Chain A
Amino acid sequence: MNSPHAASLRDAALVAGIAGILAFPFVGLLLTTEGTAPTLSTRFPEFAGAVVVIFFGRLGISAARRGHGLLPLVLGLAMAAGGAFSLVVEATGLGASGTAIWHAFVPGTFLSTVACAGGIAIAGLAGRNYLMQGRQPAERTPLPMGQLLLWLGIALAGFAILLPLLPGVDRRLIDVATLVLTYVMLGWGLNIVVGLAGLLDLGYVAFYAVGAYSYALLSVTFGWSFWVCLPVAGALAALFGILLGFPVLRLRGDYLAIVTLGFGEMIRIILLNWYDFTNGPDGITNIGRPSFFGLPFASKPEQGTESFHTFFGVAYDPVHRLIFMYYLILALAFVTNAFTLRIRRLPIGRAWEALREDEIACRSLGVNPRNTKLSAFAIGAMFAGFAGSFFATRQGFVSPESFTFIESAILVAIVVLGGMGSQIGVAVAAIILVGLPEYFRELQEYRMLAFGMGMVLIMLWRPGGLLTHREPTIRTRPAPA
Chain B
Amino acid sequence: MNDESGRDSGRIRIRVMDYFAQQFINGVSLGAIYGLIAIGYTMVYGIIGMINFAHGEIYMIGAFIALMAVVAFGISEGGLVVLALLSALLVSMALTSLYGWVLERVAYRPLRGTQRLAALISAIGMSIALQNYVQLTQGARVKTLPPIIRGGFEFQFGNTEFIVRLSTLQILIVVVTLALMAIFALLIAKTALGRAQRACQQDQSMAALLGVNVDRTISLTFVMGAALASVAGLMVTLYYGVIDFFVGFIAGVKAFTAAVLGGIGSIPGAMLGGLLIGLTEAMWSGYFSIEYKDVATFSILVIVLIFLPTGILGTPEVEKV
**In the complex, A touching B (Cβ < 8 A):** yes
B208 interfacial by beta-carbon distance below 8 Å: no
What is the interface residue range for chain A against chain B?
A: 35 or more
Q: How far is the CA of A413 from the CA of B125 in the complex (A)?
A: 8
A282 interfacial by beta-carbon distance below 8 Å: no
Q: How far is the CA of A463 from the CA of B121 in the complex (A)?
A: 9
Q: How far is the CA of A343 from the CA of B305 in the complex (A)?
A: 31
Which chain A positions have C-beta within 8 A of B106? 456
CB distance from A462 to the nearest CB of B (A): 9
Render A411-452 as a binary contact track against B, CB cut-off 8 A, 1 for contact: 011001100100000000000000000000000011011011
B118 interfacial by beta-carbon distance below 8 Å: yes
With beta carbons under 8 angstroms apart, the residue of A30, A259, A413 that contacts B301 is A259
Docked-complex contact B51 and A25, CB < 8 angstroms = no
Which chain A positions have C-beta within 8 A of B68? 25, 29, 31, 40
Docked-complex contact A26 and B137, CB < 8 angstroms = yes
Q: How far is the CA of A451 from the CA of B294 in the complex (A)?
A: 27
Docked-complex contact A459 and B102, CB < 8 angstroms = no
- Chain B interface residue count, CB cutoff 8 Å, equals 66
Docked-complex contact A254 and B128, CB < 8 angstroms = no
Render B285-308 as a binary contact track against A, CB cut-off 8 A, 1 for contact: 000010110110011011001100
Summarize B's interface: helix, strand, loop or mixed.
helix
Q: Which of A2-10, A98-106, A209-217, A260-268 contacts B (4 or more CB under 8 A)?
A: A260-268
A27 and chain B: residue at smallest CB distance: B137
Docked-complex contact B121 and A31, CB < 8 angstroms = no
Docked-complex contact B111 and A460, CB < 8 angstroms = yes
A264 and chain B: residue at smallest CB distance: B298
CB distance from A213 to the nearest CB of B (A): 17
Docked-complex contact B67 and A31, CB < 8 angstroms = yes
B127 and chain A: residue at smallest CB distance: A452
Which chain A positions have C-beta within 8 A of B144? 33, 36-38
Which chain A positions have C-beta within 8 A of B128? 406, 409, 448-449, 451-452, 455
Q: How far is the CA of A342 from the CA of B190 in the complex (A)?
A: 59
CB distance from A203 to the nearest CB of B (A): 10
Q: Given the interface contacts A25-B68, A456-B122, does A263 sit within 8 Å of B298 by beta carbon?
A: yes
Which chain B positions have C-beta within 8 A of A40? 68, 71-72
Q: Given the interface contacts A26-B133, A254-B120, A463-B114, does A38 sit within 8 Å of B71 by beta carbon?
A: yes
B95 interfacial by beta-carbon distance below 8 Å: yes
Which chain A positions have C-beta within 8 A of B95? 21-22, 25
Q: How far is the CA of A284 from the CA of B54 in the complex (A)?
A: 34
Q: How far is the CA of A254 from the CA of B117 in the complex (A)?
A: 9
Q: How far is the CA of A435 from the CA of B142 in the complex (A)?
A: 31
Docked-complex contact B126 and A464, CB < 8 angstroms = no
CB distance from A233 to the nearest CB of B (A): 23
Which chain A positions have C-beta within 8 A of B120? 200, 254, 257
**16 contacting pairs across A/B (C-beta < 8 A):** A22-B99, A25-B68, A26-B138, A31-B67, A37-B146, A40-B71, A258-B260, A263-B302, A269-B292, A272-B291, A420-B117, A449-B136, A451-B125, A452-B132, A455-B122, A459-B118
Q: How far is the CA of A152 from the CA of B125 in the complex (A)?
A: 28
With beta carbons under 8 angstroms apart, the residue of B111, B138, B141, B301 that contacts A262 is B301
Docked-complex contact A412 and B124, CB < 8 angstroms = yes
Docked-complex contact A258 and B51, CB < 8 angstroms = yes
Of B98, B129, B249, most A-chain CB atoms within 10 Å: B129
CB distance from A200 to the nearest CB of B (A): 6
Q: How far is the CA of A273 from the CA of B295 in the complex (A)?
A: 11
Of A33, A200, A254, most B-chain CB atoms within 10 Å: A254
**What 9 A-B pairs come out closest when comparing CB atoms?**
A455-B125, A452-B129, A452-B128, A262-B298, A463-B118, A463-B114, A449-B132, A456-B125, A273-B291
B116 interfacial by beta-carbon distance below 8 Å: yes
14 extra A-B contacts, CB within 8 A, seeds A248-B306, A459-B118: A26-B138, A31-B64, A254-B50, A258-B253, A261-B253, A269-B294, A360-B319, A412-B124, A416-B117, A446-B132, A452-B127, A456-B106, A456-B125, A463-B115
Which chain B positions have C-beta within 8 A of A82? none
B107 interfacial by beta-carbon distance below 8 Å: yes
Q: How far is the CA of A36 from the CA of B76 in the complex (A)?
A: 13
A145 interfacial by beta-carbon distance below 8 Å: no
Docked-complex contact B141 and A33, CB < 8 angstroms = yes
Docked-complex contact A248 and B302, CB < 8 angstroms = yes
A457 and chain B: residue at smallest CB distance: B125
Which chain A positions have C-beta within 8 A of B134? 26
Docked-complex contact B305 and A360, CB < 8 angstroms = no
Docked-complex contact A452 and B305, CB < 8 angstroms = no
A338 interfacial by beta-carbon distance below 8 Å: no
Docked-complex contact B294 and A31, CB < 8 angstroms = no
A221 interfacial by beta-carbon distance below 8 Å: no
B321 interfacial by beta-carbon distance below 8 Å: yes
B49 and chain A: residue at smallest CB distance: A254
Docked-complex contact A22 and B306, CB < 8 angstroms = no
CB contact list, A6-50 vs B, under 8 A: 18, 21-22, 25-27, 29-33, 36-40
Docked-complex contact A266 and B67, CB < 8 angstroms = no
B193 interfacial by beta-carbon distance below 8 Å: no
A255 interfacial by beta-carbon distance below 8 Å: yes
A21 and chain B: residue at smallest CB distance: B98
Docked-complex contact B256 and A31, CB < 8 angstroms = no
Q: How far is the CA of A60 from the CA of B130 in the complex (A)?
A: 25
A346 interfacial by beta-carbon distance below 8 Å: no
Docked-complex contact B64 and A259, CB < 8 angstroms = no
Docked-complex contact A453 and B129, CB < 8 angstroms = yes
Q: How far is the CA of A22 from the CA of B260 in the complex (A)?
A: 31
A258 and chain B: residue at smallest CB distance: B256
Which chain A positions have C-beta within 8 A of B253? 258, 261-262, 265
Which chain B positions have C-beta within 8 A of A137? none
Q: How far is the CA of A254 from the CA of B46 in the complex (A)?
A: 13
CB distance from A56 to the nearest CB of B (A): 19
With beta carbons under 8 angstroms apart, the residue of A258, A273, A360, A456 that contacts B321 is A360
Which chain A positions have C-beta within 8 A of B129? 448-449, 451-453, 455-456
Docked-complex contact A456 and B302, CB < 8 angstroms = no
Docked-complex contact B122 and A460, CB < 8 angstroms = yes
Docked-complex contact A449 and B133, CB < 8 angstroms = yes
Which chain A positions have C-beta within 8 A of B131? 448, 452
A253 interfacial by beta-carbon distance below 8 Å: yes
Q: How far is the CA of A246 from the CA of B60 in the complex (A)?
A: 34
B110 interfacial by beta-carbon distance below 8 Å: yes
CB distance from A18 to the nearest CB of B (A): 7
Docked-complex contact A38 and B143, CB < 8 angstroms = yes
CB distance from B222 to the nearest CB of A (A): 14
Q: Given the interface contacts A25-B68, A269-B292, A273-B292, does A454 sit within 8 Å of B125 by beta carbon?
A: yes
CB contact list, A249-305 vs B, under 8 A: 251, 253-255, 257-259, 261-263, 265-266, 269-270, 272-273
B194 interfacial by beta-carbon distance below 8 Å: no
Which chain A positions have C-beta within 8 A of B268? none
Docked-complex contact B121 and A455, CB < 8 angstroms = yes
Docked-complex contact B298 and A464, CB < 8 angstroms = no
A405 interfacial by beta-carbon distance below 8 Å: yes
Of A416, A459, A463, most B-chain CB atoms within 10 Å: A459
Q: Given the interface contacts A27-B137, A258-B301, A262-B253, does A247 sit within 8 Å of B306 by beta carbon?
A: yes
